[in-house]
């Protein structure tokens, strides 16, 4: 039974050490940090811009589906309200978060990885060219030595004279 526990623990350790799990953990932490920034942008910039047209907060926009709508003396909602302002606020927050992550993280990282891949290909191409060139030179030398042996030129190592 201890073998099974060890294998389960070993499997769990292997799972945690995989690159994609670590990348996911980093993404969650960075996403949480960006949430505060994005919320500040929405509350400090987007909401006031919307407030210039209508109200200061998008959360107050709603439509009454079944009336009468409002809040009773106990603070409970009356009727059926559709809070589309909250949905719009959440959608704007999502779009801003996605734009920030894309333009500040994904796009620069993709460009960086592309440059690194191009450099790697250039290095491999140069090494391959060097290997091919050396191989061609060695073949030429071999062919020349073989032809000299066959012709029996004097003074050439391996000749009969």
pLDDT in tens, 57-68: 677 777 887 778
* Average predicted confidence (pLDDT) for the chain: 78
- pLDDT at site 85: 83
Q: Is the pLDDT of residue 83 over 80?
A: yes
What separation in angstroms does the CA of 57 have from each of 35, 48, 49, 91, 102? 18, 8, 10, 14, 27
For 122, how many CA atoms within 13 A lie in the half-sphere containing its CB? 6
pTM: predicted TM-score of the whole model, two decimal places: 0.48
């Amino acid at each position: 039974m201890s073998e099974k526990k060890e294998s389960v623990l070993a499997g769990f350790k292997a799972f945690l050490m995989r690159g994609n799990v670590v990348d996911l953990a980093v993404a969650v932490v960075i996403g949480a940090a960006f949430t505060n920034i994005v919320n500040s942008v929405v509350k400090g910039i987007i909401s006031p811009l919307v407030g210039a047209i209508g109200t200061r907060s998008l959360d107050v926009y709603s439509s009454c589906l079944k009336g009468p709508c409002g809040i009773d003396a106990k603070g409970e909602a009356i009727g059926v309200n559709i809070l589309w302002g909250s949905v719009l606020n959440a959608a704007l927050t999502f779009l801003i978060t996605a734009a920030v992550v894309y333009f500040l993280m994904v796009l620069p990282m993709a460009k960086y990885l592309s440059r690194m891949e191009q450099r790697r290909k250039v290095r491999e191409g140069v090494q391959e060219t060097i290997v091919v060139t050396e191989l061609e030179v060695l073949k030429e030398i071999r062919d020349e030595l073989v032809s000299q042996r066959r012709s029996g030129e004097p003074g050439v190592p391996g000749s009969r004279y």
